[in-house]
Amino acid sequence: MDELVNRAFRLRGRPAGVADEAALELVREPVGELRDGQALVRTLVLSVDPSNRVFMSEIRSDLPPVEVGAVMRGFGLGRVVASRRADLPVGAHVLGMTGWQDYRVADDRELEGPFQVLPDPLPAGPEELLGVLGLTGITAWLAVEIADPRPGRTVVVSAAGGAVGSIAGQLARERGARVVGIAGGADKCRHVVQELGFDACVDRHDPRWRELLDAATPDGVDADVENAGGEVFDHVLTRLGTGARVALCGMIADYSGDPARRWGVRNLVEVLEQRVSVRGFLVTDHAQRFGEITGELAARIADGRLRYEQDVVEGLENAPEALERVLRGSSRGKVLVRVG
Amino acid sequence: MDELVNRAFRLRGRPAGVADEAALELVREPVGELRDGQALVRTLVLSVDPSNRVFMSEIRSDLPPVEVGAVMRGFGLGRVVASRRADLPVGAHVLGMTGWQDYRVADDRELEGPFQVLPDPLPAGPEELLGVLGLTGITAWLAVEIADPRPGRTVVVSAAGGAVGSIAGQLARERGARVVGIAGGADKCRHVVQELGFDACVDRHDPRWRELLDAATPDGVDADVENAGGEVFDHVLTRLGTGARVALCGMIADYSGDPARRWGVRNLVEVLEQRVSVRGFLVTDHAQRFGEITGELAARIADGRLRYEQDVVEGLENAPEALERVLRGSSRGKVLVRVG
């Protein structure tokens, strides 16, 4: 094993703005010999998510920030290629924090939690297991539960063309609500309406997007599946009706570690006056429901009720650029990096 | 009746900042003759609340804004002095939207809802019926229910020396939580700790108030009874622990109708990452619980568990200045104006 070389992205420093490729450095390092209790996991596919950006900052979250100099944290699907521990046998496919690297030495001291061994053969493609049938789809499901869409209600979904938003909007529509997306670009809006069945979509890049959202929600907004944060959320607040519900699943605009670079939200008084409930949640808190929810999602994919898109980038070296596209909203659907 | 003169504050224009006396004008107008179905209510005591400021703005709320030129909306206790309707007999004491005026003609078309006839004799003083045993005390009770204080938890109460905050802090402490107030001025802080039993209080006027709050909440904050909004709330967000609860009862800093004058909140990402639930509520939605909650509060006053202060201003003409003191945080306890 000692001739094996690992390519890894290490954090050079905390990024200043929202997206900042320069914060990551690709290094080549020898993979040392395994000790007892360790296994070597080859990264096959990485999930690229806004939360990667959170880990690069000093924002408090469920996991501590990635230390400067450490390997970039990332969730992925891998295969065990060498092992000195019985629970991770060679050949097993695993899900977990592979990190942004070719190989991870898995021992029992992982900060990010243990690897989960997948059934053999895999129940779905690696991309699906990281996307629509993984944390992404489960996040969308949980958000829709919080939003509680029903016939007669209007649900707004921001970052509607993104991984979570595109699934959440379809699930909300299935429950009978009128679903209005907010997405970056006319193409993405068309896709969301024509392919995914949203009732309407507002192009965030149109300078009149606020008026367009007002016009698209003439009866106000009963629920918001919030993936964007910042000025989008600030304006959505002004459309909320009495007793509205906000599922806070993402705040991409606010992932700079420097609060001064974030949008100052000025319409929170609407939360009070409209008696709104805002719930922040992280999918990782709900592991006991993953099986049930994945089953619901798989059934909807099987019968065609749920559509999804995957944007697969080839090569570990392109992971930072993939993240930048996610954060800038220029990606569509779930973004993944094929590594191995 | 036609020689009777009504003094009334009418809204001259929308105030610009948070507090703005010039927006109100005291006029003298004859009280016309009562028609069938009308009664004349003499205002005895007015409740002065941050919500008065909301009604002066164009902020969306449960009631539409007071129209420019109209009599200022206000909740008060009055007595029926003339009547041509059976349900409001002469001599009855009533609670309701008297407005900021000496007399109100009550008919069935009141935008603000009907008057509630009180038992005779009154079950408590008029000031208490508008304060600790009225909407103020009930708001505090509901906020504490949302905050769910328990032994081992830390609850922050902003505007802790104010009408709602001072009651809420005592109720939270009764449930066993550690209660940290935030109040404007060292005197108010001393009062909150020494007289009301808060565990600690941070002086908002101290330039180091943020560090002081951090030091007073070494284990983070499990619940926030938010009465201030703005920069106070923005910093409290950074102290919230996992699963924290925010009861949004007031956002005094945000009651300017002009969003540009409000504090831009930059730490909402904490709501997501700490999986916080934020609930805005208005006491008026919970009328079916008023009797039960008033009973709870009355029992606590009777046995000395609950203390309260009243700041009674004499004379209708001083109502705008009283509101200004409430909004600037220079009052203590419940502010009322004795009119009749």
pLDDT at res. B21:
66
Band of pLDDT at residue B110, cut at 50, 70 and 90:
low
| Residue A112 pLDDT greater than 90, yes or no | no
The total number of structural domains that make up chain B? 2
Chain B residue with CA closest to A270: the answer is B60
Compare CB distances from A259 to B242, B266, B282 and report the shortest one's residue. B266
pLDDT at res. B19:
65
| Residue B1 pLDDT greater than 60, yes or no | no
Top residue of A272, A274, A283, A285 to mutate, by most chain B CBs within 10 Å, is A272
Q: How far apart are CA A339 and CA A75, in angstroms?
A: 12
Spell out the residues 6+ positions from residue B309 whose beta carbon is closer than 8 angstroms to its own: B166, B332, B333, B334
| Residue A202 pLDDT greater than 70, yes or no | yes
Strand partners, B94: B78, B117
**Over the range B153-167, which residues count as b (16 or more CB within 10 Å of their CB) and which as e?**
bbbbbbbbbbbbbbb
Least confident segment among A225-229, A253-257, B145-149: A253-257
pLDDT tens string B125-141? 999 999 999 999 999 99
Q: How far apart are CA A53 and CA B189, in angstroms?
A: 40
DSSP B55-94: HHS----SSPPPPTTSBPP--EEEEEEEESSTTS-TT-EE
Interface check for A278 against chain B (CB to CB < 8 A): the answer is: yes
- Asked, for residue B184, whether it belongs to a domain, the answer is yes
pLDDT tens string A263-321? 999 999 999 999 999 999 999 999 999 999 999 999 999 999 999 999 999 999 999 99
| Residue A48 pLDDT greater than 80, yes or no | yes
CB distance A80 to A69 below 8 Å: no
Band of pLDDT at residue B17, cut at 50, 70 and 90:
confident
Residue A283 sits at φ, ψ, to 5 deg, of -60, -35
Band of pLDDT at residue A113, cut at 50, 70 and 90:
confident
Chain A residue with CA closest to B240: the answer is A60
B150 and B220 in a common domain:
yes
Q: How far apart are CA B306 and CA B38, in angstroms?
A: 39
Cβ distance of B59 and A280 shorter than 8 Å: no
A151 and A237 in a common domain:
yes
Top residue of A273, A277, A281, A286 to mutate, by most chain B CBs within 10 Å, is A273
B238 and B143 in a common domain:
yes
- How many residue contacts between A and B have a Cβ separation below 8 Å? 122
B272 and B326 in a common domain:
no
**What percent of chain A shows pLDDT beyond 70?**
97
Number of residues in chain B: 340
DSSP B203-253: ETTSTTHHHHHHHH-TT-EEEEEESS-HHHHHHHHTTEEEEEEEEE---GG
- Asked, for residue B295, whether it belongs to a domain, the answer is no
CB distance A227 to A192 below 8 Å: no
In the block, which residue shows the tokens 């009720």?
A305
B272 and B158 in a common domain:
yes
- Asked, for residue B243, whether it belongs to a domain, the answer is yes
- Asked, for residue A276, whether it belongs to a domain, the answer is yes
Chain B residue with CA closest to A274: the answer is B61
pLDDT at res. B2:
54
Taking residues B144-160, report their average pLDDT: 98
Compare CB distances from A248 to B242, B249, B272 and report the shortest one's residue. B272
Cα distances from B105 to residues B79, B114, B115, B335, in angstroms, run 12, 12, 11, 25
| CA nearest to B217, candidates B197, B201, B195, B233 | B201
| CA nearest to A237, candidates B136, B90, B98, B271 | B271
| CA nearest to B170, candidates B193, B196, B195, B147 | B196
Contacts B263 to A, Cβ<8 Å: 264, 266
Distance from CA of B90 to the nearest CA of A (A): 36
Count Cα neighbours of B34 within 13 Å in the Cβ-side half-sphere.
22
A271 and A233 in a common domain:
yes
Compare CB distances from B266 to A250, A262, A274 and report the shortest one's residue. A262
pLDDT tens string B76-103? 999 999 999 999 999 999 999 999 999 9
Taking residues B66-77, report their average pLDDT: 96
| CA nearest to B213, candidates B200, B222, B224, B195 | B200
Spell out the residues 6+ positions from residue A172 whose beta carbon is closer than 8 angstroms to its own: A144, A147, A149, A155, A157, A179, A223, A225
A140 and A121 in a common domain:
no
- Asked, for residue B293, whether it belongs to a domain, the answer is no
The CATH code of the domain that includes A32 is 3.90.180.10
pLDDT tens string B239-280? 999 999 999 999 998 888 888 889 999 999 999 999 999 999
Cβ distance of A265 and B266 shorter than 8 Å: yes
Q: State how beta strands A39-48 and A103-106 pair.
A: antiparallel
Cβ distance of A265 and B260 shorter than 8 Å: no
Of B284, B299, B322, the residue at which a domain comes to its end is: B284
pLDDT at res. A22:
77
Chain A residue with CA closest to B273: the answer is A61
B187 and B75 in a common domain:
no
Sign of the C-alpha dihedral, residues B74, B75, B76, B80?
positive
B146 and B67 in a common domain:
no
- Asked, for residue A304, whether it belongs to a domain, the answer is no
Beta strands in chain B, from DSSP E residues, in sequence order? 5-11, 24-30, 39-48, 76-83, 93-96, 103-106, 116-117, 154-158, 178-183, 200-203, 221-226, 240-248, 277-280, 310-314, 334-338
Interface check for B277 against chain A (CB to CB < 8 A): the answer is: yes
Q: How far apart are CA B258 and CA A214, in angstroms?
A: 19
- Helix A163-174 to helix A135-147 angle (10° resolution) is 50
In the block, which residue shows the tokens 């449930």?
B175
Compare CB distances from A60 to B249, B273, B277 and report the shortest one's residue. B273
Band of pLDDT at residue A111, cut at 50, 70 and 90:
low
A192 and A164 in a common domain:
yes
| Residue B196 pLDDT greater than 90, yes or no | yes
Q: How far apart are CA A90 and CA A88, in angstroms?
A: 7
pLDDT at res. B216:
98
Interface check for A283 against chain B (CB to CB < 8 A): the answer is: no
Cβ distance of B269 and A278 shorter than 8 Å: no
For chain A, what is the HEC assignment?
CCCCEEEEEEECCCCCCCCCHHHEEEEEEECCCCCCCCEEEEEEEEEECHHHHHHHCCCCCCCCCCCCCCECCCCEEEEEEEECCCCCCCCCEEEECCCCECEEEECCCCCCCCCEECCCCCCCCHHHHHCCCCHHHHHHHHHHHHHCCCCCCEEEEECCCEHHHHHHHHHHHHCCCEEEEEECCHHHHHHHHHCCCCCEEEECCCCCHHHHHHHHCCCCEEEEEECCCHHHHHHHHCCEEEEEEEEECCCHHHCCCCHHHCCCECCCHHHHHCCCEEEECCHHHHHHHHHHHHHHHHHHHHCCCCCCCEEEEECHHHHHHHHHHHHHCCCCEEEEEECC
Interface check for B284 against chain A (CB to CB < 8 A): the answer is: no
ipTM of the complex as predicted: 0.96
The CATH code of the domain that includes B182 is 3.40.50.720
Distance from CA of B34 to the nearest CA of A (A): 35
CB distance A129 to A205 below 8 Å: no
Top residue of A217, A221, A269, A282 to mutate, by most chain B CBs within 10 Å, is A269
B238 and B152 in a common domain:
yes
CB distance B8 to B102 below 8 Å: yes
Instruction: Summarize chain B as % helix, strand, coil (round to 5).
Output: 30, 25, 40
Cβ distance of B273 and A263 shorter than 8 Å: no
- Asked, for residue A109, whether it belongs to a domain, the answer is yes
Cβ distance of B60 and A270 shorter than 8 Å: yes
| Residue B109 pLDDT greater than 90, yes or no | no
Compare CB distances from B229 to A238, A268, A276 and report the shortest one's residue. A268
Least confident segment among A109-113, A134-138, B136-140, B212-216: A109-113
Q: Which domain, by its residues, includes A22?
A: 5-125+310-338
Band of pLDDT at residue A2, cut at 50, 70 and 90:
low
Cβ distance of A274 and B280 shorter than 8 Å: yes
A274 and A180 in a common domain:
yes
pLDDT tens string A130-172? 999 999 999 999 999 999 999 999 999 999 999 999 999 999 9
pLDDT at res. A114:
87
Cβ distance of B262 and A266 shorter than 8 Å: yes
CB distance B102 to B339 below 8 Å: yes
| Residue B114 pLDDT greater than 90, yes or no | no
Strand partners, A137: none
CB distance B165 to B308 below 8 Å: no
Cβ neighbours, 10 Å, residue B103: 24
Q: How far apart are CA B174 and CA B241, in angstroms?
A: 22
Distance from CA of A98 to the nearest CA of B (A): 22
pLDDT at res. A1:
47
Taking residues B138-163, report their average pLDDT: 98
Least confident segment among A13-27, A149-163, B42-56: A13-27
Band of pLDDT at residue A21, cut at 50, 70 and 90:
low
Q: Which of residues 205-264 of B touch A (CB under 8 A)?
A: 229, 233, 238, 242, 248-251, 254-255, 259-260, 262-264
